[in-house]
Amino acid sequence: MSAMAPFDAACADRDAAARAAAGPVVGYLANTVPVEMIRAAGAFAQLVTGSPEDETADALRRMEPFFSGATLSIFQRYLDGRLGHLDAIVIPRSCEEHLQLYYHALAERGDGRPEPILFDILHTPFETTRAYNAGRLAALRDRLERVCGQRITDAALSASIAEADAVRARLAAVNALRTADAPRLSGAEMQRITLAAAVMAPSAFMAAADSLVRAAPGMPARRGVRLLLTGSALETDTIHRAVEAAGATITADDHGFGDWWHLDPVGGGGPMRALLEKYHLNAPSVRTYPRARGDSRLMDAAARGRVQAAIFLTHQWDDTLGFDFPTQRALLAERDIPCLFLKEQPYSTPDPVAVRHAVSGFLSAHGLLEAAA
């Protein structure tokens, strides 16, 4: 069996492990939700994603058409019962679109639909914000205790934090296989591994990750231009495969389903305090203040991946990157890293051929394909 097989199976059926769980199942959106607390409540924690393949007619009848394709897909799944195996779904207030999704889900709450829970987390670096977030974290603990019927003790929370940090460490070790001088993993493979980590049981993921690291020396080395991919969160590896088909290897992903998932472990100490420190300022999100923090995160990703060029890609209706791009392009230019901006890419009907041609032309124009040959 291929070392990638467990991750590919998890990505192909992202509900499988959750449906097999013996106890409560709590879904969550994004890396800004404390999965440690969900697991400490005795629940299976499952990342909820959308799919470009979803028809979203019911969602569009209730939501404005300028919501992102991912949000429409998740809401459609909420409406049509495909999230019915969840007891609750935790939605962070890390961006306005997630907040509006919570309100829409709350309005449509009914039989067969999970209870929506808002984690009203804010990411501004002020003491007043920190105090507010401490209250929201305590409120989330109380809500999860009621949903799951189990008290969240400090001991359970500390054990859950240690387990989640072990998953992050495995992700970082696997990621090192594609940032090496001779990458043993593609960006597309790392994308599937990252997504799998958020839907598999932690023990199963760690065992699969350890097996992959052991198998790595026998895997062929990859060649190609080393690229950074940033912008909209990508729930599949379709764009990664298209970009890499142009003669590249994506060695860094600065987006919502990329490197953010293995950065900044929670660590030890008092568990509630440790979670507050992590999710207040050390869980990357699409909205970062001050913006310089996001710029530094991008440049750190470029350095880790030792990239030669950067691809900025945004889906239709995703306007978050437009304000950041000029500054980030200038920062990358200072390191002689050229950029390509692929704007308003269709979520539901991605065009891999067009993406591959655009990337190939960009890399050729900068002489990078010839240098990597």
pTM for this structure?
0.96
Strand pairing of 225-231 and 248-254? parallel
List pLDDT tens digits, range 216-255.
999 999 999 999 999 999 999 999 999 999 999 999 999 9
Residue type for 99, please?
L
* Beta-carbon contacts of residue 356 (< 8 Å; ≥ 6 apart): 242, 243, 245, 246
Q: What's the pLDDT at 373?
A: 64
What average pLDDT does range 94-111 have in this prediction?
A: 93
Tell me the C-alpha distance between 299 and 150, whole Å.
Answer: 42
The DSSP code for 348 is: S
Q: What's the pLDDT at 87?
A: 98
Q: What's the pLDDT at 216?
A: 96
Q: What's the pLDDT at 7?
A: 98
Q: Indicate the burial class of 181 (C-beta count within 10 angstroms; 0-12, 13-18, 19 or more).
A: exposed
First-to-last CA distance in the chain?
A: 32
Cis peptide before 202 (omega within 30 of 0): no
List pLDDT tens digits, range 12-33.
999 999 999 999 999 999 999 9
List pLDDT tens digits, range 301-342.
999 999 999 999 999 888 777 778 999 999 999 999 999 999
Tell me the C-alpha distance between 104 and 75, whole Å.
Answer: 8
What average pLDDT does range 55-66 have in this prediction?
A: 94
The two three-digit tokens of residue 164, written as one number: 């989640």
The DSSP code for 113 is: S
What average pLDDT does range 172-178 have in this prediction?
A: 97
What average pLDDT does range 257-279 have in this prediction?
A: 95
Contact predicate 29/89, CB 8 Å: yes
Q: Is the pLDDT at 72 greater than 80, yes or no?
A: yes
Residues belonging to the chain: 373
Backbone angles phi, psi at 47, to 5 degrees: -65, 135
Q: What is the mean pLDDT of the chain?
A: 95
Grouping H, G, I as helix, E, B as strand and the rest as coil, residue 70 is helix
Q: What's the pLDDT at 318?
A: 80
What average pLDDT does range 112-117 have in this prediction?
A: 96
What average pLDDT does range 207-214 have in this prediction?
A: 98
List pLDDT tens digits, range 136-163.
999 999 999 999 999 999 999 999 999 9
Backbone angles phi, psi at 267, to 5 degrees: 85, -175
Torsion angle in degrees (nearest 10) through CA of 171, 177, 183, 186: -30
Q: What's the pLDDT at 285?
A: 83
**CATH topology (fold) of 18-153:** Rossmann fold (3.40.50)
Tell me the C-alpha distance between 238 and 318, whole Å.
Answer: 18
